[in-house]
Amino acid sequence: MSATLQPIPDQGGPAQSLLTVKDLIKEFPLKGSLLGRSPGRVQAVSGVSFDVLKGETLGIVGESGCGKSTTSRLIMALTQPTAGEILFDGQTVGSRALPLKEYRRQVQMVFQDSYSSLNPRMTIEELIAFGPRVHGVDQPTATKAAHELLSNVGLNPDQFGCRYPHELSGGQRQRINIARALALRPRLLILDEPVSALDKSVQAQVLNLLVDLKTEYGLSYLFISHDLNVVQHMSDRVLVMYMGRVVEIGPVDSIYTSAAHPYTAALLASRPSTDPDLRRTEPPLMGDPPNPINPPSGCHFRTRCKYAEPICAKSPPAMNALGQGHHAACLMAGQSNGHSQSLGLSSAPLVSIAA
């Protein structure tokens, strides 16, 4: 009888990042041409670098189209990067030390759409056992492990094991997707809008389940969501993306109480408030994002930024360190760089907790 799958052991120790993404670029060619001219390309991800530390949840936020899902597809090796490098536990993905097949099992993904990712002709226990079966685990062992996983995601195996996906609710299907991802005993789970399609009460249950499973299975999470409240609740650190670039990253409290990038500040200010006295009348974020085919020079956000000055058009701002792992790609977060507010910002955050 073959054994159940076990997680691949830690290589580099607790101080070694689990995932390191370095200068990742992904360009998509545009279809068709205009008057015989080259059709051009869209840079969906433009030089993104970050780490996911062992045991942490890194939240990713940003408007629709900023490159969150493209980044996760690149990490999952579902699409080839135009440039850049991905390391997992210190080893280059796709190298001899870490071949793609071995890497793929360690990183699993749960998507928003719980239905389309489940084969409608397979029973729940077959769906969960499928991955381990492909990895050589025999049928009885894989089915037994599937039943254990069903219990661990809060579904009675005797009741649900033989059902089909269409017989389940959205929340139950998302629990199946989580169980299916865990069946391969990954170390990193990428959660791309995992609860966005669910009702608020069901959302809370699935989020609590994710928190429990993280400890139980020793996981790290990359958690993508439009919902800033959910990201705040789930994350240890938060990364903010704008038009394919990382504009701010830092510990969750630091980002939510002292955002240093005007885009982050605007995103946070746009959260709906339940207090009528705090409801705003003017939108904090003006206009739509610029056309990604032809982004503004320098800082991509400058066309919507009330602090923009001519210097902001010159070159993409570097990531400025603000202490305690908080970094922002804004001239106002740096020193003596030609922006009139470049020195004052560290003492005056754009968002204060009282705002």
Which amino acid belongs to residue 28? F
Q: Identify the residue among 81, 161, 250, 292 touching ligand ATP (CB under 6 A).
A: 292
44 scored as a contact of ligand ATP (CB under 6 A): yes
Whose structure tokens read 């900023």?
66
Q: Which stretch binds ligand ATP (CB under 6 A): 65-73, 144-152, 269-277, 315-323?
A: 65-73
Stretch that binds ligand ATP, among 57-65, 165-173, 227-235, 258-266 (CB under 6 A): 57-65
Distance CA 243, CA 122 (A): 39
Q: Residues 93, 180, 233, CA angle at the centre, nearest 5°?
A: 80
**Residue number, 31 or 200, with CB nearest to ligand ATP:** 31
Length of the chain: 355
Single out the residue of 5, 24, 66, 183 in contact with ligand ATP (rule: CB under 6 A): 66
* Residue 292 contacts which entry, ligand ATP, Mg ion, none (Cβ below 5-8 A, type-dependent): ligand ATP
| Residue 244: closest CA among 20, 22, 25 | 25
Residue of 20, 46, 48, 67 that binds ligand ATP (CB under 6 A):
67
Q: Count of residues binding ligand ATP (CB under 6 A)?
A: 12
Which residues 6+ apart lie within 8 Å of 25 measured at CB? Answer: 43, 45, 46, 47, 48, 81, 82, 83, 84
Stretch that binds ligand ATP, among 62-70, 134-142, 211-219, 254-262 (CB under 6 A): 62-70
Could you say which of 18, 42, 93, 182 contacts ligand ATP (CB under 6 A)?
42
Q: For residue 198, give Cα distances in angstroms to 1, 67, 126.
A: 39, 23, 24
- HEC sequence for 4-35: CCCCCCCCCCCCCCCEEEEEEEEEEECCCCCC
Q: H helices of 76-199, where? A: 100-106, 124-134, 139-152, 157-160, 170-182
Least Å distance, CB 336 to ligand ATP, is 34
- Name residue, tokens 């570097």: 318
| Interacting residues with Mg ion between 65 and 84 (CB under 5 A) | 68-69
Q: Which is nearer to ligand ATP, 125 or 192 (CB)?
A: 192
**Of 6, 64, 201, 294, the one binding ligand ATP by CB under 6 A:** 64
Given the complex with ligand ATP, which of 28 and 307 has the nearer CB atom?
28
**Is 131 a residue that touches ligand ATP (CB under 6 A)?**
no
- What's the closest the beta carbon of residue 304 comes to ligand ATP, in angstroms? 16
Nearer to ligand ATP, 70 or 174 (CB): 70
Shortest distance in whole angstroms from residue 66 CB to ligand ATP: 4
CA angle in degrees (0–180, nearest 5) for 153-154-159: 115
Closest CA to 197 of 172, 180, 222, 179: 172
Least Å from the CB of residue 193 to Mg ion? 7
Distance between CA atoms of residues 277 and 226, nearest Å? 24
Per CB under 5 A, residues contacting Mg ion are: 68-69
Site residues for ligand ATP per CB under 6 A: 28, 42, 44, 62, 64-70, 292
